[in-house]
Amino acid sequence: MNDAALLDHIAKQPKGRTSLKHLFKELRVKGDERQAVEEALERLTETGDIIALRNGHFEATAASREFVVGRVTLHRDGYGFLVPDRPVPGMKGDVFLGRDSIRGAMHGDRAIARIIFFTGRDGRAEGEIFRILRRAHPTVVGEFRITRRGFRVVPFDERMRDWVEIPEEFAIPPATAQHDRIGTSAIEIHDPQDLDGMIVNAEVLDYGDDGEGPVGRVIEVLGHPDDFGIDVEIIIRKFHIPHRFPDDVIAQAKAVPGSISDEELQDRRDFRGLPIVTIDGETARDFDDAVLVDRLPNGHYALQVHIADVSHYIQPGTPIDKEARLRGTSVYFPDRAVPMLPFELSTDICSLKPQVDRLVVSALIEFDRQGDPVQYEFCRGVIRSAERMTYTNVHKILEGDAEQRERYAPLVERFELMQELAQILTRKRYRRGSIDFDLPEPVIEFDAEGAMTGVSRGPRTMANRIIEEFMLAANEAVASHLDATGHASVYRIHEQPDPKRVLEFEDVAAQFGYSLGEGPVPVIKHRVKERKAHGRVEYKEIITPGEMKIASKGYQKLVAKIEGKPEERILSYLMLRSLKQARYSERNTGHFALAATHYTHFTSPIRRYPDLIIHRLLTASLAGKTYSTETELKMISEECSTTERIAAEAERELVEWKKAKFMEERVGERFEGMIISTAKYGMFVELADLFVEGLVPIDTLPDDQYMYQEKVRKIVGHRTKREFSIGDRIEVTLDRVDPIERKLQFSLWEPRQPGKKKNKYRQ
């Protein structure tokens, strides 16, 4: 019996519990088979799937109301929560962990919590850490400090409340590890006293328990807090992003031949004589995809999407493959990238550079005039890209720029045909309900020396849309093909939104006169008792969303309605928050936002591991073979969803940090902004020109005492009845910046009226 079958057997027992003796009896296990069962129980205990109780029983956590498995999230004030892996019957939300119930757990740890008690009919629960399954922080990056009690590392992550004790013998790392920053000089450290105030990375040797803090040793000295580029170094280590390729990976990458053998070309379709091009951003260094569009004699469109054949160079189980799976994705920071693959592959051998032969996996799709796929074909091929185009230049060509149209004269008609097909595909997606959030991306601007000079909104031109549409089409075609084979695969899924979040969005949208549906979202109201002090009983009304099927068309129609309106930015952001996060899965449940029944990631194998897996699955299917099992693909899907989330969090946090550092020099300046959210403690304002947001505390508003009215989400003056609502445009003054927490605090600015005395609160 395998681990899954054994776990299923235990979960089906009364209360999900059984003893070893009963297991042997029920499964009729004898002799040497008993050791195999005991080993399986040990593995399941290590993963948290079962709990070994003191009375000799084993309990399946999936069937338990006492034990919950999940991820620990801590607040900087000391308390925390355990976010369950799966819904717990009778419980709503996360498990609250008091300061004394955390028991040595760190933010991000995977752990088992034991429920102490439920806090009432609303299903909220409080618990304590029972066992830590996996540590999230083998290392801690922070500031080295010399205190009365010895050496300490203060974690950069404010949610890690415990400082790491550093014994004197572990304060100085080996000379080879005293710096690990690109382009920096070695930092000579001979005395721990020299480390005071410097940024270091410490390996945790003992996590501590029962009130004892963690103990570690310094393994890297990164530099001083104000050193140029230190922010990137800190973020890389805070999120534990692998940034050094092991020696065997580098050796394997350097050993990959730079030329393509004649034998390899014999089994591939030759596309080298066609005017295929890549279209990317100006700063792109690796080129995954190249495209071509032809018009067929029947008036249909022939789209060719050629993707770098990374799977040819990276075989399963090799050092490069293992490292790529560990990384899961490339991570892109404003001024550098941490690639998934070594540079020898990512920017050279695999990259579809112009005028050189490159191996590809190709999706060839014929579309009719309505944008419906008539047929598709997949093959392994070889191309020679005609041009390395940029979004900017293609946009200029399509806008009629004479200089660019003359420079790329042989390709102009091709780009116009691409635009024609892309517009048809966009209209087709719109008809089926695909949501297109046209939210601008923040672009950090730097001067020649690499210093940040501002934040702007990234453009999204027709050239960007062309590539987006073609990649979406290729991804859908590949997903449909793999699903039709009946073999296990990896899909990019996006589940239905949580009705409760939709209800919260509807409340805000109603203030602007909008709704996602034809009518109000159905709700269920019921009254519950709530015991107060001295035996007093109160009733409160609980409102929950009713059963409803939410269609993506509702989102799509609202996006169209608010386009160009002042409230577009706010409502688009809130709509996004109401949706779930897309992820990878071995089971195809469709993609809500795209309104697609089949979707996967095929087009970026240089920077995403799931795409590499899809290439292997696709080429195996073309050869009539099966590449992998569903169990293996399930593990890969979960791993890649996690690494993708970590990369996104790291990228977002660094951008926010750079924004905060940039704004430090602008304290005291006045800005125009818009209120994007309100709360009982104040209102958040986004600046009009800088893509930066911050808080105006409610107690700093002048001339009155202001209160937050939750039902209408407004801040209202007690005497003046003046209101501040989401979407209002106001002027603010930047009062202070907290660069560590990346928070900005503003105050309301208003011109003084003639003859009116200056109020001590007025700016």
167 and 76 in a common domain: no
629 and 564 in a common domain: no
pLDDT given for residue 569 in this prediction: 79
Say if CB 380 and CB 359 are below 8 A apart. yes
CA gap 469, 749 in Å, rounded: 45
DSSP-assigned letters across all residues of 629-667: -HHHHHHHHHHHHHHHHHHHHHHHHHHHHHHHHHHGGGT
Strands 269-270 and 373-384: parallel
480 and 627 in a common domain: yes
Count of CB atoms within 10 A of residue 247's CB? 9
CA gap 712, 726 in Å, rounded: 10
551, 579, 607: which is the final residue of a domain?
579
b vs e for 388-424, b when ≥16 Cβ sit within 10 Å of the residue's Cβ? bbbbebbbbbbeeeeebbeebeebeebbeebbebbeb
pLDDT given for residue 96 in this prediction: 92
DSSP, res 421? H
Say if CB 323 and CB 355 are below 8 A apart. no
pLDDT tens, residue by residue, 173-229 = 876 454 555 444 456 788 889 999 999 999 999 998 766 889 999 999 999 998 888
Residue 635 inside a domain? The answer is yes
644 and 517 in a common domain: no
Residue 12 inside a domain? The answer is yes
CA gap 763, 12 in Å, rounded: 67
277 and 422 in a common domain: yes
Q: List Cα–Cα distances, 585 to 322, 526, 632, 638, in angstroms.
A: 20, 37, 11, 7
Residue 443 inside a domain? The answer is yes
| Mean pLDDT, the chain cut into blocks of 10 residues (763 residues total) | 84 87 86 86 90 87 88 89 84 87 90 84 83 93 94 91 92 66 58 92 87 90 90 95 95 94 92 97 92 97 98 96 97 92 95 97 97 96 97 96 96 98 96 83 79 78 96 97 93 91 85 71 47 51 51 88 82 88 95 95 98 97 89 93 95 90 92 91 89 93 92 90 91 91 90 56 38
Number of domain units in the chain: 6
Strands 95-97 and 125-134: parallel
**What is the three-state SS of 253-301?**
HHCCCCCCCHHHHHCCEECCCCCCEEEECCCCCCCCEEEEEEECCCCCE
Say if CB 285 and CB 347 are below 8 A apart. yes
343 and 411 in a common domain: yes
pLDDT given for residue 122 in this prediction: 66
Beta-ladder partners of 114: 67, 128
476 and 363 in a common domain: yes
431 and 301 in a common domain: yes
Residue 208 inside a domain? The answer is yes
CA gap 26, 37 in Å, rounded: 12
Q: Which domain holds residue 705?
A: 667-748
Say if CB 230 and CB 168 are below 8 A apart. no
Q: Which residue has the tokens 């779930």?
A: 580
11, 40, 62: which is the final residue of a domain?
62
Residue 554 inside a domain? The answer is yes
548 and 435 in a common domain: no
Say if CB 208 and CB 132 are below 8 A apart. no
Residue 757 inside a domain? The answer is no
Beta-ladder partners of 383: 358
526, 544, 579: which is the final residue of a domain?
579
pLDDT given for residue 11 in this prediction: 87
pLDDT given for residue 536 in this prediction: 54
222 and 303 in a common domain: no
CA gap 589, 583 in Å, rounded: 11
718 and 631 in a common domain: no
Which CATH number covers residue 77? Answer: 2.40.50.140
Helices and strands (H, E) in the chain, number of each type? 18, 36
pTM: 0.86
E strand or H helix at 230, and its extent?
Answer: helix 230-238
27 and 120 in a common domain: no
Cβ contacts of 651 within 8 Å, gap of 6 or more: 331, 332, 333
- What are the tokens at 98? 């008091």
Residue 660 inside a domain? The answer is no
DSSP-assigned letters across all residues of 438-507: -PPPEEEEE-TTS-EEEEEEPP--HHHHHHHHHHHHHHHHHHHHHHHHTS---EEEBPPPPHHHHHHHHH
| Biggest CA-to-CA distance, the chain | 98
Which CATH number covers residue 165? Answer: 2.40.50.700
